[in-house]
Amino acid sequence: MEFLEEAVTFPLIGDNFPELDVQTTHGNMSLPKDMKGKWFVLFSHPGDFTPVCTTEFVAFNKRYNKFKKLNTELVGLSIDQVFSHLKWTQWIKENLNETIKFPIIADGMGAVSEELGMIHPGKGDNTVRAVFIVDAKGIVRAIMYYPQEVGRNVDEILRTVEALQISDKNGVATPENWPNNELFGKDVIIPPAADEKTAKARMKQKGCLDWWFCHKKLTKRK
């Protein structure tokens, strides 16, 4: 008789981020409650005192102020204990001259990692490099997963946060590699026409390649 394996579930894009009480290097925190009114990026790393993770933490830390300008906080996580996090961040400060400004969750029992789908059995017992981008209302807006052997591009995560906020504010979409798209540069994409009248008008509109394919420059709101 075959037994069905229990399905692994975790928050999806558009879901409410689950309520979590966690221990961090900055003390106990409740997510997303303690981030009310702010965006946050929660990212996991396989382990403290590992080379690739160290390069990522330095990159996140160097861009910390850029995230702050986007009303976005950073939160790290691994299944290491809090004392390991503290010793590791101390090593980073002493050897790489970077004082880690953001909290790191100590998920020693792995409960948070399991709930967020950060542990993939086929890749071992440690967390993979997961990223959750959560908006100011506590809604999951983007999820990224990388294997342990591939370091993330922190600029891409920063770009994604900015693009999501631009989309929310202006009711538009952003093209590939925005704001450095090969076709339209910094322009954004206008949502496709939803009726025949608008579709016909789009054919004569500046910036429209077709009724469903239009771009425009962002206008600054006063």
Is 220 within the bounds of a domain?
yes
Which residues have CB under 8 Å from 78's CB, separation 6+? 44, 45, 46, 47, 48, 53, 85, 104, 105, 106, 107, 126, 127
User: What's the confidence (pLDDT) of residue 1?
Assistant: 40
57, 148: one domain: yes
Is 84 within the bounds of a domain?
yes
Is 158 within the bounds of a domain?
no
132, 175: one domain: no
Is 12 within the bounds of a domain?
no
CA-to-CA distance for 140 and 132, rounded, in angstroms? Answer: 7
Question: What is the tens place of the pLDDT at every residue in 25-59?
Answer: 999 999 999 999 999 999 999 999 999 999 999 99
pLDDT band at 10 (very low <50, low <70, confident <90, very high): confident
How high does pLDDT run on average in the chain?
94
Tell me the catalytic residues: 53
* Residue, of 137 and 204, whose pLDDT is higher: 137
CA-to-CA distance for 139 and 12, rounded, in angstroms? Answer: 9
CA-to-CA distance for 30 and 212, rounded, in angstroms? Answer: 43
Helix (DSSP H) and strand (DSSP E) numbers for the chain: 6, 10
- Could you give the number of structural domains in the chain? 2
pLDDT of 71 > 90? The answer is yes
65, 128: one domain: yes
188, 113: one domain: no
Is 161 within the bounds of a domain?
no
pLDDT band at 3 (very low <50, low <70, confident <90, very high): very low
What is the token pair recorded at 30? Answer: 């409740």
70, 125: one domain: yes
148, 179: one domain: no
Is 182 within the bounds of a domain?
yes
Supply the range of the domain harboring residue 217: 171-222
Within 10 A of 184 (CB to CB), how many other CB atoms are there?
A: 19
94, 189: one domain: no
pLDDT band at 219 (very low <50, low <70, confident <90, very high): confident
Question: What is the tens place of the pLDDT at every residue in 100-122?
Answer: 999 999 999 999 999 999 999 99
User: What's the confidence (pLDDT) of residue 195?
Assistant: 94
80, 184: one domain: no
56, 126: one domain: yes
